[in-house]
Amino acid sequence: MAKSAFILVALLAAQISAYACDKCKAYEQSDDFKIKSASVIHNKKFGTLEFEITVAGNAGKTTPTPIGKLDMAPVLAYVFPTTLKAEDIGFKCTEGIVALALTSHPDFDDSPLWDENADGNFDNDGIVWHPHWVVLVEDKRVKGGLAVKEHKSAEKIAKPATAPNMPMYMDSPGFPVVTDGSTIRVSVPAYRIKNKVQFNYDAVTCYLEVSAPAKGMSMEKPMLGVYNVFSILSKNLTLPYKVK
């Protein structure tokens, strides 16, 4: 992993003791976000990578309490930080930590190509657990210290065809997410990450929040920032685990 990525990893690990948002307390006490184990298995038979997190409670049972607006909307996530590169997931070369985040956020829908609740409406299912590839970078505008990397709206950067129309390094790949008792898992076709089946990873649960101020108001916080980390499998976020 690049030196800058190691610095970001250390920064994220420090946030557990450095900052805890009041709005996160109900979530951070939940066993639904206390990680017991995780794995990433390369299924050669089907050409997939199976990402899985097991928690002490019921994975995915707890979802964010909606606030009825986009600005300050809460996001809960089960996250796999990895040593993959931005180019492996379809973005242009850029610094940051590539992570696969399984998220729920009832106040908005950022996967317009997919109808996760299968009701025929493609923009009403943000609460359903769904995946995002994101690139995380240091961002001192939030006390959590990290955010999804942004770019200027006018900047034409290489993105996956499945990325939503947002000026961030975030993709909505549509991989199937399944919750099963204490486990949440997602299946990723190997070709969707350029057949990179050997990499390191870790497992994290966290709270994020959107910043979308009214038109004309200055953007004082990142569009999607990490505000609290509930659990880290390796404790110090060293990404020690390898694909099996």
pTM of the complete model beyond 0.75: yes
Residue 50 CA to residue 224 CA, distance in Å, equals 26
E strand intervals along 28-129: 35-43, 48-55, 74-81, 97-104
**According to the model, what pLDDT value does residue 201 have?**
98
Query: Of the ranges 21-35, 42-56, 83-97, 220-234, which one carries the lowest mean pLDDT score?
Result: 21-35
**According to the model, what pLDDT value does residue 64 have?**
95
Residues 70-96: tens digit of each pLDDT = 999 999 999 999 999 999 999 999 999
φ, ψ dihedrals at 79, nearest 5°: -125, 140
SS3 120: coil
Alpha-helix runs per DSSP H in the chain: 3-18, 25-28
**According to the model, what pLDDT value does residue 11 have?**
54
CB 202 within 8 A of CB 233: yes
In this prediction, residue 13 has a pLDDT band, given cuts at 50, 70 and 90, of: low
Residues 33-42: tens digit of each pLDDT = 999 999 999 9
More confident residue, 193 or 17: 193
Mean pLDDT for all residues in the chain: 89
Q: Percent of the chain at pLDDT above 90? A: 69
**According to the model, what pLDDT value does residue 155 have?**
85
What's the mean pLDDT in 11-16? Answer: 51
What's the mean pLDDT in 64-72? Answer: 93
6 pLDDT above the threshold of 90: no
Residue 153 CA to residue 151 CA, distance in Å, equals 6
